[in-house]
Structure 1
Amino acid sequence: MTDGPPPTERNRLDEEESPYLRQHADNPVNWQPWDDAALMAAQARDVPIFLSIGYSACHWCHVMEDESFEDEEIARQLNEHFVPIKVDREERPDVDSIYQTICQMTSGRGGWPLSAWLTPEGKPFFVGTYFPKEPKRGQPGFGDLLDRIHRSWETDRDELEDRAEQWTQAVKGELEETPDPADEAPDETMLDAAAQAAVRGADRQDGGWGRGPKFPQTGRIHILLRAHERTGRDDYRDVAEEALDAMVDGGLYDHAGGGFHRYCTDRDWTVPHFEKMLYDNAEITRALLAGYQALGTERYREVARETFAFVERELTHEDGGFFSTLDAQSEGEAGADEEGAFYVWTPGEVHDAVADQTDADLFCDRFGVTESGNFEGQTVLTVAAGISELAEDYDVDESEVEDRLETAREQVFEARAERPRPARDEKVLASWNGLMISAFAEGALVIGDSEGRSPSGNRPQADNDGLAETGADALAFVREQLWDADAGRLSRRYKDGDVKVDGYLEDYAFLARGAFDLYQATGDVDHLGFALDLARTIEADFWDEDAGTLYFTPADGEDLVARPQELNDQSTPSSAGVAAELLLALDHFVPREGFAEIAEQVLETHGGSIESNPLQHASLVLAADQYASGARELTVAADGLPDAWRAAVGDSYVPGRVLSVRPPTDELLQDWLDSLHLDAAPPIWADRERRDGEPTVYACQQFTCSPPRHEIDAALDWFDGTED
């Protein structure tokens, strides 16, 4: 027996590696992690659980900690009458999904911090988000609320338990949706219907969607771009362009250092919520690369390049792999942590940072830096004036304006580097790394070997090989630290040598897509093999044939009050949608393993939900379109993808593309088949050797193929019917 108090009579978060949990390790609240000891303690004491869910960069999580969780009287109430449990939603998205769902069902809103009161068995009976310490704006004070819930548990427990049972059944019904035999997989009209819904809901004045806070909605942008390519409708293109322009011109983008903040708090994309999340920088960058291909706007590619530089500089582990988050807060002039302190400017600060005062004036005019500011007396940088407008105002050439602005921006960046930096959450998450690996892989194709300098001016931009190498290094790191090849199992989180949490569907699906995208960019068959290994585990552990669906948690995972699915796109894409589209792509390489049949059944099971609300199911819409329209196969038989061909593919918008590079001869292909443990070449490779000693490309779609060609442009043109 160990000395000291029982586990639940002390704060145990100092034993955790999660930066968010460790932030609360010194609270007087006896916080417990979500584990068997905490759950069993609630049952032994016969008291409710107070569950608090958040993440390290969450502003209102910090506020609630400062107001309530540091307060001795609040701590006494929590410790005496509840078992307080803290959960990092980034480590345990399964737990978060269940209680977020019931919060949204009962209140119409959700978010973090999430505050939920549960029976000792984990069934919710009261739920909300942030509660102030004292009553404010119609919200109860947190201490008063704790007292009311405690008294209700003592005097009206039956009523609370009845409510808990009703809510549990409701959340099970929501998350464990079962198939309707009448449903069918959406057909080729689904994409157009989703695009029309996106246009109807768009904010045509300020870009994006919604009239209040503006969030990146990258799935909708992909739908619009794909539908525009299919139909030629101008409004689809325009709404996608308006959303992309708003994100790259407004305060969502860090104009000094590259990279994107979480979301904007206003309608016109001026003031962001300043944290920087790895997944946003991955998914927004992928949308920008698609926007460049579809619309030809060079600025989208340039911002993508700058974002890659930011991720390499500030979110990359020295051994490969990507960190999770930069905090919204950092130390301000008064010495206290302030939101956005690292990122905002006054005219005086710009003039102190920039050597040439005309350059400083140009910078202030370009990015709207004024004495009054746009955020608490300071300025969040936004594009306030165009290059041609500045050239006219300053009576200089546009090229000179651009050069002087770049010089000023480098000096502003260098001055900012001297400020106290936001904290960094150094968890390496398999799923978020998969998203970023996909972005780097696509960037390797689209950005190619174009040159330039990072926003810091301190080093050249990575070229094609550099971007692909960064993605491959991250994949190698995740494979080494989180993948158990013998068991075929993936863990979710690595932090300073500590590995924790069995992987969820999003970990397998996002990482598999990243590996497959790296194969497309590099032709390295090892990446394809790893994607196939992950896909086989998706089938074994997450696919339920009887229910016709992919669950978010593995079949042998922890027994929670519900087994969630992830069908909606939220801050990250739907894991079910990404998995379905991935399985359709991988089916080309292992058609006998039935991956396409799994994807088809998932789309049939959820066809009614997709059709009734396509914008909530953007990733499933894209998967359904892939299923209905068929992939666009490009098989290249060569010693690697020729540089000119890579540039042509990178410049071309080919939605649903499956780019497969194979060895030039069948004799060399046999080594690949052996490494993948395949008995015979799949149709995408079979009988597709190099012709006439030259690199050869084969293009196919919907069971129809072009003749073998030695010109990649002709193969790409074949898809849109401009080449026979």
Structure 2
Amino acid sequence: MDQPTERNRLDEEQSPYLRQHADNPVNWQPWDEQALETAREHDRPIFLSIGYSACHWCHVMEEESFADEAVAEVLNEQFVPIKVDREERPDVDSIYMTVCQLVTGRGGWPLSAWLTPEGKPFYVGTYFPRESKRGQPGFLDVLEQISNSWEQDRDEVENRAEQWTTAARDRLEETPETPDDRTAPSSDLLERAADAAVRSADRQYGGFGADGPKFPQPSRLRVLARAADRTGEEAYRDVLAESLDAMVSGGLYDHVGGGFHRYCVDRDWTVPHFEKMLYDNAEIPRALLVGYQQTGEERYAAVVEDTLAFVDRELTHEDGGFFATLDAQSENPETGEREEGAFFVWTPEEIHDALADDTDAELFCARYDITDSGNFEGRNQPNRVTDCETLAEQFDLAEDAVRERLESARERLFEVRKQRPRPNRDEKVLAGWNGLMISTCAEAAIVLGDDEYAAMATEGLEFVRDRLWDSDEQRLSRRYKDGDVAVDGYLEDYAFLARGALGCYEATGDVEHLEFALELGRVVEAEFWDADRETLYFTPESGESLVTRPQELGDQSTPSAAGVAVETLLSLAEFSDDGFDEIATGVLETHANRLEANALEHATLSLAADRLAAGPLEITVAAESTPVEWYDRLGSRYLPGRLFARRPPTEDGLDAWLDRLELSDAPPIWAGRDARDGEPTLYVCENRTCSPSTHDVGDALEWLERDTAAPI
């Protein structure tokens, strides 16, 4: 039988995940028109394999099956094998992962799907071992069964493909049939989401769910924080603190080098899956900043600082953009094999060898639970289990001395660990993920009062803008890698980056960043907004046509693209007459019933609905430069819905900004709010009620603390 694909084409791709499979005997094709046309021309089913470079089980399936000549022979002769990097093509991943979850009740990567030549799925799964074991069918057996079904039971296969495609379309494109079915979300939506978070919380070990694995849920934590501020309910604040404490104390956090791993495999947050994703190291610190503002817990701020230092050191391009991931696996020098966690884990002997002083070694082992038995395959992922006060008593040392010695030990272990073979780094720069990181850096600059974070944010934004934004076409690409730009941007790319650009404006007062955010917002309207169905789609109107056009309404490993878009458009509406607020309102009303049914699953959209109901907290600063004290005191306060609206001190300066933004009139957030008496001037409006202008940040804070405020 002829082979529809004569060679593996992945050596032409830039994605590190795809290139990892370029030497496989499988004749892998990228997802493109050539591959799809080959399937149609030869009337062969497509075998679609979706994963990402830091995925442990993706590597396992490659080693067991895709590097195997016998498996390759079947795939090459009977199928058109297509490999997709989910980080580059989240649209393709979303469709077929939805089918997998609908059919099997679960999902994950590697995702394995068999499709008709038209792209309609008829068989799905995740990881398959080469040979059947522990109740799992073997991959070769599955291939043989599917090939036989394609040849002998074609009508049944086609019928199933139609049914599954219809089910995916119904799930991903669902909107109310008529405008009469649309209504505003209820006023208690935020509290209902927070109540659901408390009900699902693990009050013993922190986080959510009574069993492992434990995933960070930053959007849920933001819901709890805002609801706690609104209601004063202690249960919300307690679950927030318990979850943050678990994440920064357990094995999810890298206590030696900073930064967060993907998730923990157990209930008590001990052992992680060791890959480090850019989005986790953006969104978890963002939640920690909220926790710091609410509780004043300095440890949260310290973990944010250490995490951003890790990102700056290990995930930052020399020109400022942010790389995608660090792999879970690295070489074990003793075996020469790549093993998960090898770079990160320790034995007591290794700790003693690295530290010259036995007391320092014993202190570190006691602090971080480094034992002979180990917690991960005979070695140890550090978990902070003992506080410094207890250690001071145990070792008959002053508490300050314990802290100093532990920090010195950590620094030494960090240097020793640097000599180990390092995990691979996926050096894709993704617009959306960079937007998340830019947002967090900008917020850290405001909350922690450190201009270095503002520089990280603006350098990241400029990197993405220079390489991925086409100012002539007003279009954003998703991926940059070694000079190569590819993939049309999705809603998450525009929304996340727009939020990041807006954050840079808030942190620096540079109107260029606001201008860019508005440009991105206008493309969101042009390419993703469906005025008839009043919803935002994940894929652009002018993009590739797939078997369905997905929306992204729920929060997953990243926040909901639609939710971030709505929140950001509501903020941008304060500076523009483009109708952004109408889009935001339309989306929330369209999906109100979905939010009411499960507010917590749609945490970011629930936060956006609350933002719409409450209105912004406008903090307008008219000054050439904002006094440091203002940011120190306002930034350190938890002020949900806060929008820093910096502007020039005089009307002449403001007119120049309006010309740049192509605005005929000053928006209300700036209008008439110039500097008084030649001094920096502060204006605060909350619940659509405004304070008097002031030169004293203390007066503004005092006004915010009032129970009521009369309009002036």
TM-score grouping bracket, smaller chain normalisation? over 0.9
Map 1:268-307 onto structure 2 (within 5 A): 268-307=268-307
| Pairwise CA distance, 1:478 | 0.4
Correspondence for 1:452? none
SS state of the match for residue 5, structure 2?
A: helix
Matches within 5 A, 1:570-589: 570-589=556-575
Match of 2:596 among 611, 614, 626: 611
Name the residue aligned to 1:635. 620
Tell me the residue number matched to 1:121: 118
1:6-21 map, 5 Å: 8-21=5-18
Q: Which amino acid aligns with 1:519?
A: Y
Aligned-pair CA distance for 1:701: 2.1
Contact 1:717 1:723 in 2 (8 A): no
Give the structure 2 partner of residue 334 of structure 1: 335
Identity of aligned residues (%): 66
Contact 1:187–1:628 (8 Å) recurs in 2: no
- Which of 60, 64, 67 pairs up with 2:61? 64
- When residues 426 and 7 of structure 1 are mapped into structure 2, their CA distance, relative to the original with a 3 A threshold, is farther
Runs of 4+ deviating beyond 6 Å: none
Q: TM-score, normalised by structure 1?
A: 0.96
* Aligned residue number for residue 468 of structure 2: 482
**Partner in structure 2 of residue 190 of structure 1:** 189
Q: Tell me the distance in 2 between the aligned counterparts of 1:33 and 1:713.
A: 59
TM-score (norm: length of structure 2): 0.98
Distance 1:55 1:617 in 2: 25
- Check if 1:351 corresponds to 2:336: no
Give the CA deviation at 1:723. Answer: 8.3
| Cα distance between partner residues in 2 of 1:662 and 1:545 | 33
Deviations 1:322-345 (A, max 9, x none): 000000000012110000000000
Q: 1:75 aligns with which of 72, 88, 97?
A: 72
Distance 1:103 1:718 in 2: 53
Give the counterpart of 2:679 among 664, 671, 694.
694
Q: CA deviation at 1:447?
A: 1.7
2:601 partner SS: helix
Deviation at 1:639, TM superposition (A): 1.3
In structure 2, distance between residues paired with 1:9 and 1:657 = 57
Structure 1 residue 6, shift from structure 2 partner: 9.1
Q: What is the CA-CA distance between 1:163 and the residue it aligns to?
A: 0.3
Does the 8 Å contact 2:436/2:496 carry over to 1? yes
Q: Which moved more, 1:703-712 or 1:331-340?
A: 703-712
Letter in 2 for 1:375: F
| Cα shift at 1:7 | 8.1
Letter in 2 for 1:118: L
CA distance in 1, matches of 2:296, 2:486: 43
- Whether the 8 Å CA contact 1:179–1:605 is kept in 2: the answer is yes
Post-superposition CA distance 1:288-308 (Å, at most 9, x none) = 011100111110000000000
SS in 2 for 1:138: coil
How far apart are 1:504 and its partner, in Å?
0.2
Counterpart in 1 of 2:98? 101
Counterpart-to-counterpart distance in 1, 2:605 and 2:624: 35
Q: Alpha-carbon deviations, 1:260-313, whole Å to 9, x = none? A: 000000000000000000000000010001110011111000000000000000
2:198 alignment counterpart: 199
What is the letter of the counterpart of residue 483 of structure 2?
G
Structure 2 counterparts to residues 322-721 of structure 1, below 5 A: 322-332=322-332, 333-448=334-449, 464-590=450-576, 592-721=577-706
Structure 2 unpaired stretches of 5+: none
Counterpart CA distance in 2 for 1:72 and 1:245 is 49
User: Per the alignment, in what secondary structure is the counterpart of residue 614 of structure 1?
Assistant: coil
- 1:133-168: CA deviation from partner (whole Å, max 9, x where unpaired): 111121100000100000011100100000000111
Rounded Cα–Cα distance in structure 2 between residues aligned with 1:486 and 1:185 = 38
The letter for the 2-side match of 1:374 is: N
Residue 486 of structure 1 aligns with an amino acid whose one-letter code is D
What is the alpha-carbon distance in structure 2 between the residues aligned to residue 723 and residue 301 of structure 1? 32
Confirm or deny: 8 A CA contact 1:276 1:327 kept in the other structure.
yes
- Following the alignment from structure 1 to structure 2, what is the Cα–Cα distance between the partners of residues 51 and 497? 28
1:461 matched residue in structure 2: none
Corresponding residue for residue 52 of structure 2: 55
Q: Give the equivalent residue in structure 2 for 1:112.
A: 109
Alpha-carbon displacement from aligned partner over 1:368-396 (angstroms, at most 9, x marks no partner): 11111111110000101001111111112
Change (3 A) 1:372 1:404: same
1:134-149 alignment runs, 5 A limit = 134-149=131-146
- Single out whichever of 51-60 and 683-692 deviates more from structure 2: 683-692
The answer to whether the 8 A contact 1:492-1:501 is kept is: yes
Q: Does the CA contact (< 8 Å) of 2:58 and 2:109 recur in 1?
A: yes
**In 2, distance between residues paired with 1:713 and 1:588?**
25
Letter in 1 for 2:537: Y
Contact 1:633 1:699 in 2 (8 A): yes
SS in 1 for 2:184: coil
Return the alpha-carbon distance in structure 1 between the equivalents of residues 181 and 33 of structure 2: 41
Cα distance in 2 between the residues matched to 1:721 and 1:171: 50
Is the contact between residue 4 and residue 77 of structure 2 (CA under 8 Å) also seen in structure 1?
no
- CA distance in structure 2 between the partners assigned to 1:469 and 1:394 by the alignment: 43
